[in-house]
Chains A and B, each alone.
Chain A
Amino acid sequence: QITLKESGPTLVKPTQTLTLTCSFSGFSLSTNGVGVGWIRQPPGKALEWLALIYWDDDKRYNPSLERRLTITKDTSKNQVVLAMTNMDPVDTATYYCAHIKSSPFDFWGQGALVTVSS
């Protein structure tokens, strides 16, 4: 049974760096073809893909946000960490992590709401 859960601050100030952790179980990030991605959703708006890391440490980023994002994995801890620099109120959103094998995101975490405000 695959489960994922996001954790991190609920409130960050503008210009700060947001660090979110995705803790998962039921799969290994050392398995061929497996990856974990991050997706966000501002209140009342659509989904936006942020980043993805694969079992072989291949990393992909949304080109429009790439300069602000860093994704890393700790296979031994079953965790993936996303860092986003220079946070702005427009970055207020629910942040999801999700499992991927080949193309679609087939298992999702419950999401973590992050508010950016001074």
Chain B
Amino acid sequence: EIVLTQSPGTLSLSPGERATLSCRASQSVSSIYFAWYQQKPGQAPRLLIYGASNRATGIPDRFSGSGSGTDFTLTISRLEPEDSAVYYCQQYGSSWYTFGQGTNLEIK
């Protein structure tokens, strides 16, 4: 089983700042099968990034993904108050899916 470890656990930043969220896999993951989701309280997750760096439909270009192998990054430039949420990374490998434990992004 591939374990995804996200860091930091909590991130507190101000509007306009840049957020960098990390996800490390316990073994190499194909970038094709790597995604990021945003989840706000009381809502279902929303797909942000797929294929490690491709924005899903309707996602602002403030959101970008990068990485390969075991290290992946979600970057949110120019934070806005509505970006306050929990962010999850996810991979699909060896026929099953795993999610990271989440990063809680707080906007001050």
Do the beta carbons of B96 and A63 come within 8 Å of each other?
A: yes
Do the beta carbons of A47 and B51 come within 8 Å of each other?
A: no
CA distance A49 to B88 in the complex (A): 12
Known contacts: A47-B45, A103-B92, A104-B50. The answer to whether A63 contacts B1 by CB under 8 A is: yes
Main secondary structure of the interface of A (DSSP, over half): strand
Count of chain B residues near A, Cβ 8 A: 24
Q: Give the total number of A-B pairs whose CB atoms are below 8 A apart.
A: 55
Counting CB contacts under 8 A, is A110 at the interface? yes
Partner of A49, one of B44, B99, B101: B99
CA distance A60 to B96 in the complex (A): 7
Beta-carbon contacts under 8 Å, A6-58 to B:
37, 39, 46-49, 52
Do the beta carbons of A106 and B56 come within 8 Å of each other?
A: yes
Q: What is the minimal beta-carbon distance from A97 to any residue of chain B, in angstroms?
A: 10
Do the beta carbons of A104 and B90 come within 8 Å of each other?
A: yes
Counting CB contacts under 8 A, is B12 at the interface? no
Q: What is the minimal beta-carbon distance from A61 to any residue of chain B, in angstroms?
A: 8
Point out the residues of chain A lying under 8 angstroms from B100, CB to CB: 46
Main secondary structure of the interface of B (DSSP, over half): strand
Do the beta carbons of B1 and A49 come within 8 Å of each other?
A: no
Do the beta carbons of B47 and A104 come within 8 Å of each other?
A: yes
Known contacts: A47-B99, A60-B95. The answer to whether A103 contacts B45 by CB under 8 A is: no
Known contacts: A46-B88, A103-B51, A103-B92. The answer to whether A108 contacts B97 by CB under 8 A is: no
CA distance A46 to B33 in the complex (A): 19
Partner of B45, one of A48, A62, A108: A108
CA distance A33 to B54 in the complex (A): 19
Q: Closest 8 CB pairs between A and B?
A: A49-B97, A108-B44, A104-B35, A104-B50, A47-B99, A46-B101, A103-B33, A106-B47
Pairs across A and B, CB under 8 Å, 6 listed: A47-B102, A60-B96, A61-B96, A96-B45, A104-B92, A108-B44
**Given A103-B51, A105-B47, 9 further pairs, Cβ under 8 A:** A46-B100, A46-B101, A47-B99, A62-B96, A96-B45, A103-B35, A103-B92, A105-B35, A110-B44
